[in-house]
Chain A
């Protein structure tokens, strides 16, 4: 897949072609730790948008803010707002946000290990009360992930890492989302599996679902994204189309080649990066 060459799917609803719009978002943990310092980002209808950043940049926090899951982590939105599909979802309940059409694949997969593959998928379809839609979503997930089709009745905890990631993505697809947010889906997977997951994200996007892809593996993410954002200690430091980002010297130095295998950057790399960040922003 060439980076950013594919035309975006046609906009379906009347919100000016923007599926998700995050403006000036500020998030504080435990009332004191300011983690997001006024970030803005946009996911146009039918596109794949990559959100890149090193450990601790605030990528997961951004996803929690969008999906309403900050409260369990004692986090609060102190400024800014989030508009999804024309609706203000800032501080909405996670269940309502899911019902509006945002699904997420959480960092670390977080599948229900004690449940079977089928039960995980049915849990993912919890808010999808239209039987036919659920049936269609299920068939599609089985098509996308043949390994899951063979193991419908197995306990999810016994699946391999790659299969668990497939299940996590499949589970998110069961509610038939308009926007899919994935938090580091390539984490801990072998290069071949990373490629497989990448191709599946493209397939999902081509079926009409907008995608916000959070990654540390910039190579992978930028190879399929229409647009990319780079985040650094709670701020957006750069954004642009993938070619531009891929050519950028700073991005090259800090994000590419360092972890082509989908491995996490080493601690030393992170420290190095932080030291150099002043002139980057």
Chain B
């Protein structure tokens, strides 16, 4: 080979490496964005910093594994139905279960804390995190539980990119959810939720049932966490839900901090920035051996630390979190 061709080949390699990194970052970022969005909705509407969000993501993914593969409901009752249908129904059941868990947690542990300090309530959610994570891990056991999704490890090549079918599904679902939530916020209940987020007492003065709004926001938050957990537990991220899923989901926190705790737009952008940073670090910092392998996974936390130091309210957050 002449040197020219070598350089060309190298350049092509660099380009595809860059393209793959960006694609990977976006796809990772979409997961963080979903998780962060759920967290921010709960925080805005109920003033609860939900540290159990990662645990809810893992639990949601485990629900899917349970319905789709472990207990095989509703699949076992409809043996002739196509796999995509039974799987979709299993996911639907899992998301309903996640929503119910979110509402029950809110009603039992967080409603009694209304009016308490932000910090005291956050501690309660840390307790919930420990309990939910332990119960979920107990159910999961030491195995990796596949979610039984119809996409499996299929992929196709598009120019320089290798694209997994799950990633396509993930982008479609993310876009649908973001648009859906934007529309929801313009509905009667959505407006009531934003009003409650802005001024609880004034919202009650309009006859808005704030308790109902809390329940709905926890249901939405838990469902978004579950969807994030599902995509975090499928190819190309992982091959199922296991005890590490909650930790993976925990990486949404840097995205939340970066976006600003109380901004939904910030959560989405923060999610993508963190996803891209993690992917880039994974690709380009691997060569520095002293950093060890898997350094990419640490980068979100480094970004979070820097954000906390220079701009504690994030890129889009309210400068001063006003609350009782």
A110, B194: Cβ atoms under 8 Å?
Answer: no
Chain B interfacial positions (CB closer than 8 Å to A):
115, 186, 188, 191-192, 194-195, 198-209
The listed residue (B191, B200, B208) touching A95 by CB distance below 8 A is B208
Closest B residue to A68 by beta carbon equals B204
Alpha-carbon distance between A124 and B188 when the two chains are bound, in angstroms:
10
Residues of chain A within 8 A of B199, CB atoms compared: 110, 112
Chain A interfacial positions (CB closer than 8 Å to B):
67, 69, 72, 94-95, 97-99, 104, 106, 110-115, 119-120, 122-124, 126-127, 171, 175
Alpha-carbon distance between A171 and B198 when the two chains are bound, in angstroms:
15
Residue among A97, A123, A127 having the largest count of chain B Cβ atoms under 10 Å:
A123
The listed residue (A72, A112, A114, A175) touching B207 by CB distance below 8 A is A175
Contact flag A115-B200 (CB < 8 Å), given A126-B207, A126-B208: no
A98, B207: Cβ atoms under 8 Å?
Answer: yes
Alpha-carbon distance between A110 and B192 when the two chains are bound, in angstroms:
15
CB of A220 to closest CB in B, whole Å:
23
Closest B residue to A97 by beta carbon equals B207
Residue among B186, B194, B198 having the largest count of chain A Cβ atoms under 10 Å:
B198
6 additional A-B pairs beyond A67-B205, A115-B191, A115-B194, beta carbons within 8 Å, are: A94-B204, A112-B198, A123-B206, A127-B207, A175-B206, A175-B207
Residues of chain B within 8 A of A67, CB atoms compared: 205
Residues of chain B within 8 A of A94, CB atoms compared: 204-205, 207
Residues of chain B within 8 A of A120, CB atoms compared: 195
Residues of chain B within 8 A of A114, CB atoms compared: 194, 198
B201, A110: Cβ atoms under 8 Å?
Answer: yes
B198, A69: Cβ atoms under 8 Å?
Answer: no
Contact flag A110-B205 (CB < 8 Å), given A72-B200, A122-B191, A123-B192: yes
Residues of chain A within 8 A of B194, CB atoms compared: 112, 114-115, 119
A72, B198: Cβ atoms under 8 Å?
Answer: no
Residues of chain A within 8 A of B115, CB atoms compared: 72
